[in-house]
Chains A and B, each alone.
Chain A
C-alpha cells in the first residue's frame, strides 16, 4: 500500500468525524510519511509498519467519542462511545456490549417499576370514575402507599442511573487502555 492508498483508506474510516478533527489526524500521518521518506524508507515500508489504516481509524473514532461523552454524558454521546469502543474488535464487542445490554435492562426495569408505582393512584382514580362499584377506599390508600414507594424507587433510580453512567464511562476508558485494538491488530 502506498501513501495515497493509506491516506484514502484512513480518511474513509474517519468520515464520521468533524472536519477539523479529521484534518488534524491526517496531518499527523502526512508528517509521519514525510519524515519516513526523508530517512530513506519507501511509502510501502512506512505504511506496512503503521499497520491497517482501517483499524487506526476505528481507534481514532473511539478516542474521539470517549472524549465527547466525558465532556457531556448525553444519551447520544453514550451510545456513540459504546458503539465506537465495541467496534474495535470482536473481543471488545463482547466485553463492552454484553454488560451494557445487561445494565440497560436493569435500569429500564427499575424505572418501569418506579414510574408505574408512582402513578398508581391515578389509575385507581380512573377506575373509580369508570367503574364506581368495583373500587374501594382500601384500594385507593394502598395505591397511595405504592406511590410513596414508587417515588423512593424513582429517586433511587435517578441516583443509580447517574452512577452507572459514570462507572460505565470509566469502564470504556479502562477498555481502551487495556485492549485497545485487540487481537485483530497485525504487527511486524
Chain B
C-alpha cells in the first residue's frame, strides 16, 4: 500500500484504539502493526503531536514488571476529532468503492 496514504490513516487507527481503552506506547504500536505494515517509530512523533494538540493526555502507571509506563488517554476534544475523522473516512471510502464498482461494471 502507498506509504503516504497509510500515514494519514495511522492517525485514525490510533484514535480508534485509544477510544476503546487507554494504552501505553508499545501496546499501541503492536496493535497497529499487527494489522498494517508500518515503520513503528513513526507512531511516536504522531503520539507527541496529538498530545500537544490536546487530543490525548498522558499519565504514568506502575507496571507489575519493570518501571512505570506512559499511558495515553483520549480527551473529549480527541473524541470529537475522532468522530469527524471517521465521518471523513466513511465518505472517502464509500466514494472510492463506488468508483471501483462502476469501473468494474463497465468492463
Contacts and interface: CB of A to CB of B under 8 A. Distances in A.
Contacts of A106: none
A31 B29 contact: no
Contacts of B3: 181, 183, 185, 187
B26 A187 contact: no
Contacts of B49: 63, 66-67, 176
B45 A52 contact: no
Interface stretch (B34-42, B89-97, B99-107): B34-42
B42 A183 contact: no
Q: Main SS of chain B's interface residues? A: helix
Interface in B15-32: 24-26, 29
Interface of A: 25, 27-29, 31-32, 34-36, 38, 49-53, 55-56, 59-60, 62-63, 66-67, 176-183, 185-188
A180 B41 contact: no
Nearest to B48: A63
Given A67-B52, A185-B39, A49 B33 contact: yes
A25 B48 contact: yes
Contacts of B77: none
Size class of the B contact interface (CB-based, 8 Å) = 20 to 34
Interface in B39-56: 39-42, 44-49, 52-53
Nearest to A71: B52
Contacts of B11: 177
Interface of B: 3-4, 7-8, 11, 24-26, 29, 33, 37-42, 44-49, 52-53, 65-67, 69-70
A180 B45 contact: yes
A29 B66 contact: no
Contacts of B48: 25, 60, 63
A50 B42 CA distance: 7
Contact of A38 (B29, B66, B70): B66
Given A50-B39, A51-B39, A63-B52, A29 B44 contact: yes
Nearest to B26: A35
15 contacts: A27-B70, A28-B70, A31-B69, A32-B26, A35-B66, A49-B33, A60-B48, A63-B49, A177-B8, A178-B8, A179-B7, A181-B3, A186-B39, A187-B38, A188-B37
A7 B46 CA distance: 19
